Amino acid sequence: MRIVFVGASPLTLKTAAIAAERGAEVVIIDRDEKELDALASILDCGRLLGDGTRPAVLKQADPKGSDVLFCLTDDDPTNIIASLVGKSLGFARVVTQIEDEEFEHICLELGLVDTVVPARTVGRHLADLAEGRDLMELHAAIKGDARVFLFVAREEDAVAVRDLKLPEDARASHFYRDGELHFADPDVPLKKGDEVVVIVRSGGLDALRERWDSHNG
């Protein structure tokens, strides 16, 4: 596996170190030459000096030959732009870090479906720990060839859930409207802007991505 990171942030260093230990080839892009030089003594990885939002820089990281692009700088707009550029250049998967949750919906509309909000993730994790919840429940529920797909409903998707015409191996599970959870019962009408969660067999992911990601991206 080959993984490219934009931004030599603490999250990048931790993730890259774990990935490298597991045998992945790691490349880190950063604009700070001193930051990159410091990596040489702590991490066995490729280093690329430059602005990760620039197409010319990301092209040097070999998009077609990479499996994942992580955009993990400390600046949300930078991560979003780098993600969009990376997606346009052909990175197989792009993961975008955002700190401001207001950007999350925008990311989805732009086709950036793999977003991480560290503060929220850690906050929920700690709250679950405090309440004694089983943190592995979700992992146990989504296993085998089951996958989760999330899309933002467009004007043409403002129909009853049963009329979405999803692939045979896909079912709408629930959706979020103005931040509130709603179950996706067949007769429930969707509205433009709803964030819809679909459970799908891995073989049906490409059809969903082609239908929604290509439109948004």
- Report pLDDT for 69: 97
Which structural domain range is residue 165 located in? 137-216
- Report pLDDT for 118: 74
Same domain, 146 and 94: no
Mean pLDDT by 10 residues, the chain (217 residues): 94 92 95 90 92 97 96 95 96 93 87 82 65 59 78 92 92 90 94 91 86 62
- For the chain, how many structural domains are there in total? 2
Calpha distance 3→26 (Å, rounded): 5
Looking at residue 7, the DSSP 8-state letter turns out to be: S
52 occurs within a structural domain: yes
SS3 189: strand
**CATH assignment at residue 209:** 3.30.70.1450
Residues 96-135 pLDDT 10s: 999 888 888 889 888 898 888 876 666 665 676 666 666 5
Same domain, 99 and 175: no
Same domain, 162 and 94: no
- Report pLDDT for 142: 67
Query: Alpha-carbon Rg of the chain, whole angstroms?
Result: 19
Same domain, 101 and 167: no
195 occurs within a structural domain: yes
Give the CA dihedral 63, 69, 73, 78, nearest 10 degrees. Answer: 60
Same domain, 87 and 24: yes
94 occurs within a structural domain: yes
